[in-house]
Structure 1
Amino acid sequence: MADGRLADPPPASGRGYPREELEFGDEEHAPRLRLSRRGIVVLGALGATVLGALAWLVFYSSVLDVRSVAVQGVADDKVTADQVRTAIGELGDGPLARVDLADVTRRVEAIPRVAGAEVWRGWPHTLQVKITQRQAVAAVKGEDGRFTQVDAGGVSFATEAAAPEGVPVVELRLGQPARDADSVITRAQLVQGAVAVAAGLPAEVRQRAGAVLVHSYDDIQLQLGGGATVRWGSPEQIDRKARVLVALLHQKGTNFDVSAPEAPAVSG
């Protein structure tokens, strides 16, 4: 140039744009990978095939069949794991995923000595069952001399020749007035009230209570070990009477009266 200075070099492209802008523009206009409709159909079919194979494997093949039934919660020989498995029967066969857990639960809970059951799948091959056994709070002596065990919910679940050890025996010894009132208060209701009394006794009292004698609705009596007796009265205010009785038992005496818990008495 005339002033002797060198001219700036021309731009990298003939359009006069910086290189950076050109590179950025090239990236924006780079070709994108697109699936054709046929490719989408093929991928969809492949995915459906895989899912179908998995479903068949889990729900219909023998690969994940039930191979064992594990039973928890058995407390004694009154209910055994084999009894539970027998009750489940054919419901425990075939693929584990297809086992109807609700049906299995109902069958297990139909066992008289079972109060409740939980059932779940233990992958890959185990059906898991946890039971809760019924516990007797009283044994009702029948006219035939046999004893029907009753739990805290009032459910009768077993009848045997002898009462379980440590469980109070409920026995009806009705006087004539109580017999005459049978149309008003039935024997079943009297037994129900006595069982409620037995269930409401604290453990230390229940273990001492050999019998719960029912003379009438308002005249229930407990026979304790050592010859002591408790006049309980009616099957009302059970919790309060139980608390009062525990306090009275620390006093000397052989006759305890909690029929009126606000005015208890000890004698003998």
Structure 2
Amino acid sequence: MAERLDAPALAEEVEEDEDEERPPLRLSRRGILVLSGLGAAVLGLLGWVLYFSSALDVQTVAIQGLRNDQLTVDEVRAAIGPVQHGPLARVDLDAVQRRVQAIPRVAKAEVWRGWPHTLRVKVIERQPVAAVKDSDGKFTQMDASGVSFATEATAPAGVPVVELQLSAPAQDAISAFPQSALVAAAVKVAAGLPSDVAKGAPSLLVRSYDDIELRLAGGATVRWGSAERTDRKATVLLALLKQKAANYDVSAPDAPAISG
């Protein structure tokens, strides 16, 4: 007896035969050339819009991170100069970063594109940990890394003041311990002071490399010694300050002393 196929099964079999016989779709050489030409034209148009037209020009330079009026937005924009103009895609971000970081008060800068029209610059300002009193009475601000970045007639509020009062032996040994080394040692001490002590803007008197003295806001003095073991000395000083005294000695932090 002949096997009978139902209509759905027969239709499915016919469709499979047609799929097997249907040749794959192939583009002619001319079609490939046309599509390639269109793709190149689209990419060319996009490139022109991005890099050469004024459609995506820089319209705004957004500066963020400024903490006070010592450094202004206008100063940062002036430092960037003509690099900030023209199509955003063509702005040399590395050049902008170098120009901003060349500002003495800037420790670091980050630059990126904010599409479609904004050049964004994030500024990290240097923070003074000490103000070094110069021979002319002005004060040079220095950050924790020992970089001097500003000189003004007065010391900033809440910043320790460093003053060189070299002893005779220190003056004789100036070739071995130049003033720059002495200032660097004092700045290291200032950067390591407990925050509450530093905010009181104590004076750091440098008589020699291993003879640094603090004069606290209340009138008490702290014999610090050298800048070595500053972290340990700061911890010990915090403990000593719980006792009221006229003089504190942390020059030998494992054997501190108070008097007066």
Shorter-chain TM range is over 0.9
The equivalent position to 2:76 in structure 1, one of 67, 81, 84, is 84
**TM-score, normalised via structure 1 length:** 0.92
Aligned to 1:39: 31
CA distance in 1, matches of 2:183, 2:28: 80
Aligned to 1:133: 125
Deviations 1:65-98 (A, max 9, x none): 0001011111111100010111111000000001
User: Rg bigger for which structure?
Assistant: 1
**TM-score, normalised via structure 2 length:** 0.95
Structure 1 gap ranges (5+): 1-6, 12-17
The equivalent position to 1:231 in structure 2, one of 223, 226, 246, is 223
Please identify, of 181-190 and 18-27, the stretch whose mean Cα deviation from structure 2 is larger. 18-27
> One-letter code of the match for 2:26?
R
Change (3 A) 1:24 1:149: same
Aligned to 1:261: 253
Q: CA RMSD in A?
A: 1.7
The alignment status of 1:172 with 2:195, answered yes or no, reads: no
Change (3 A) 1:227 1:45: same
Deviations 1:144-181 (A, max 9, x none): 11110001110000011111111111001011100011
Aligned length, in residue pairs: 257
C-alpha displacement of 1:183: 1.1
Deviations 1:105-148 (A, max 9, x none): 11011111111111111110010111011111101111111110
In the TM superposition, 1:22-171 aligns within 5 A as: 22-171=14-163
The runs of at least 4 aligned residues of structure 1 exceeding 4 Å deviation read 7-11, 18-23
Structure 2 gap ranges (5+): none
Deviations 1:185-224 (A, max 9, x none): 1111001000100011111011224210001111100000
Deviations 1:31-75 (A, max 9, x none): 332211111011001101001100110111100000010111111
CA distance in 1, matches of 2:35, 2:193: 70
> One-letter code of the match for 1:77?
D
CA distance in 1, matches of 2:46, 2:31: 23
